[in-house]
Structure 1
Amino acid sequence: MSADFWAGYISGAIGILVGNPLDLIKVRLQASSDTASSRPATSYVRHFQNRTSLITGTAAPVLGYGALNALLFVSYNRTNEIFNSWLHTSSSLWATWAAGAVGGLATWVVSTPTELIKCRAQVASTPSSSWDITKQVWRSDGLRGLYFGGGVTALRDSVGYGFYFWSYELSSSWFGNGTADGATRWTQDAVKVLLCGGLAGVVTWVSVFPLDVIKTRVQTQVAQPAMAPLLGGPASTCARLGAVDIARQAYAEAGWRVFFRGLTVCSVRAFVVNAVQWAVYEWVMVELGQAKHKPEEAPSDA
């Protein structure tokens, strides 16, 4: 496996563990039909009934998102190289956005079932493991059920990851390269990666948050039995609303504000998670000798 595969896998898994508590709040706020426009910060505490709540729904993302992140970075890096070779340039922000969008689209095969299982585990009325949710979905709807909401998930990932890599490269260029040496240079590089990674995470989620709200509601909706045939035969399979109908329903419920419910929590989570994730990714790439700009080693005290 390539260096960026392992760097992406490790950083993605660590990012999930770091950000799951706030992600739990985000998903429950998005899926909630509560029309209250605001709530005190202390009300979020109720989402953590016990210690296990802190890791609710993490099993699927740790396995799935690690693979997703690995696929994302490999797809992005290879596509970016191709686009820049076509443009005869070493770096282009347009190529960066397009490569990020292609990378995001490539993750669809992993992100859709991972997101569906994670979200349903997080909003379940009774504690349910990712494996329990997976078996339940498979029994009721088979493979198709695991990819329910795949269209809006693919759109969210494609647009979001385009802005993800674009904003990271743009903010990195703003900071430039440090001129210090030794430990000071190493510290500057670390701070740069943390800030740029955190900023990239916030920009990404702001750009696609309404799509994420719709995706969450699509994948966590309670299925309603379809109308039985006129001759009194058995009802057909359960009917669920699609993304467009869910969006209309959400707007009718609480107006445009519903599409930004949970954005504050998500932005805080995005900054922390992506700062850590990019730092881990860059560190692994350095350790494997594949970093774009390898930072200088801090001098030894010996």
Structure 2
Amino acid sequence: MKKKPYPFWLGGVAATIAASITHPLDLTKVRLQASGDKRMVQSIKKTVRTAGVRGLFDGISGTWLRQMSYSMCRFWAYDESKKLLGAGKDAPAWKLALAGSMAGGIAGFVGNPGEIVMVRLQGDFAKPPEKRFNYKHCFDALFRMVREEGVSSLARGVGPNVFRAVLMNASQLASYDFFKAELLKTGHFEDNIACHFTASFAAGTVATTVCSPADVLKSRIMNASGPGSNSTLAVIRSSMQSEGAMFMFKGWVPAWTRLQPTTILIFLTLEQLKNGVDWSRKKGWDIL
């Protein structure tokens, strides 16, 4: 009997839980990329000093919007892409990476508005008061963007965002599946938390390195507000002139520090949610 597929929204729920826990680190990463702050600890202290501990959770509604649009879409699209390509559990790395790239392209486009809202909400307090957006929450941000900047503003930075999403999913989702399959082949691991943790740790490191350039560009473009300032070439040119080529890896340490636990939490949570679905189905509670 063919196993019933898991609910399409499991990935979105797992990502939302993980992102909520690691939100302070993600907030710090965005502020490092978009501002003149030099060090992670310095940036965290600055946030606490100016906005209190609650300031570490600035823009949390934007994070939830982003995860329940972008992340839900990418996990669903990845599973569908694997079916389309015939990529089973022992599929070669290139086929998994292709499925991840396809999923990233779709999710990056669908989740772009949520991505902009998240970046703007997180980066607001790093700006001078006169340059802040002062959005109340994610829905206020969406409505005001459409009203003040036009519907086209929802597509700001969509090119780098889709490119980054392709890189992220080709590296994170595909490498997790690849490492998990390889670990199970060794005979030293079973399909349990130890295996999931090791595979997700490796996937997080790969994904951080691959995605850093696109991540920095995305944050800088989406935070730009002046006319002509959101051009990808304009951002690259000005950043190269003032900081050199290594600007593409600015914030790598906080990005890794944030993405590593996020990646681990996402996959550990997702695997446990799947176990919960399996358990409920065995009990005859076929509501999922």
Aligned partner of 2:144 in structure 1 is 136
Q: Secondary structure at the match of 2:111?
A: helix
Letter in 2 for 1:57: G
Aligned partner of 1:46 in structure 2 is 46
| Structure 2 CA distance for partners of 1:39 and 1:270, relative to 1, 3 Å | closer
Letter in 1 for 2:176: Y
Tell me by how many angstroms 1:42 deviates: 4.4
Letter in 2 for 1:47: T
Tell me by how many angstroms 1:254 deviates: 0.7
Say whether the 8 Å CA contact 2:31–2:43 is kept in structure 1: no
Aligned partner of 1:255 in structure 2 is 244
Give the distance between the partners of 1:61 and 1:261, measured in 2 at CA: 22
Alignment: residue pair count = 266
Per-residue CA deviation, residues 150-169 of structure 1 (Å, 9 max, x unaligned), is 01101110122111122212
Aligned partner of 1:12 in structure 2 is 15
Quick check: which one's helix share is greater? Answer: 2
Aligned partner of 2:154 in structure 1 is 146
Give the distance between the partners of 2:89 and 2:65, measured in 1 at CA: 36
Higher CA-based Rg: 1
Tell me by how many angstroms 1:247 deviates: 0.9
Aligned partner of 2:180 in structure 1 is 172
Aligned partner of 1:156 in structure 2 is 164
| Structure 2 CA distance for partners of 1:159 and 1:42, relative to 1, 3 Å | closer
Aligned partner of 2:201 in structure 1 is 198
Give the distance between the partners of 1:65 and 1:155, measured in 2 at CA: 18
Say whether the 8 Å CA contact 1:198–1:273 is kept in structure 2: no
Q: Secondary structure at the match of 2:150?
A: helix
Tell me by how many angstroms 1:109 deviates: 3.2
Tell me by how many angstroms 1:66 deviates: 2.2
Per-residue CA deviation, residues 94-113 of structure 1 (Å, 9 max, x unaligned), is 11000000011110233211
Tell me by how many angstroms 1:284 deviates: 1.4
> TM-score when scaled to structure 1?
0.80
Q: Secondary structure at the match of 2:244?
A: helix
Q: Secondary structure at the match of 1:241?
A: coil
What fraction of aligned residue pairs are identical, expressed as a percent?
20
| Structure 2 CA distance for partners of 1:244 and 1:213, relative to 1, 3 Å | same
Runs of at least 5 residues in structure 2 that lack an aligned partner in the other structure: 280-288
Letter in 2 for 1:16: A
Runs of at least 5 residues in structure 1 that lack an aligned partner in the other structure: 224-237, 291-302
Aligned partner of 1:286 in structure 2 is 275
Give the distance between the partners of 2:89 and 2:23, measured in 1 at CA: 39
Aligned 1:22-33 pairs, distance under 5 A: 22-32=25-35
| Structure 2 CA distance for partners of 1:244 and 1:177, relative to 1, 3 Å | same
Tell me by how many angstroms 1:55 deviates: 1.8
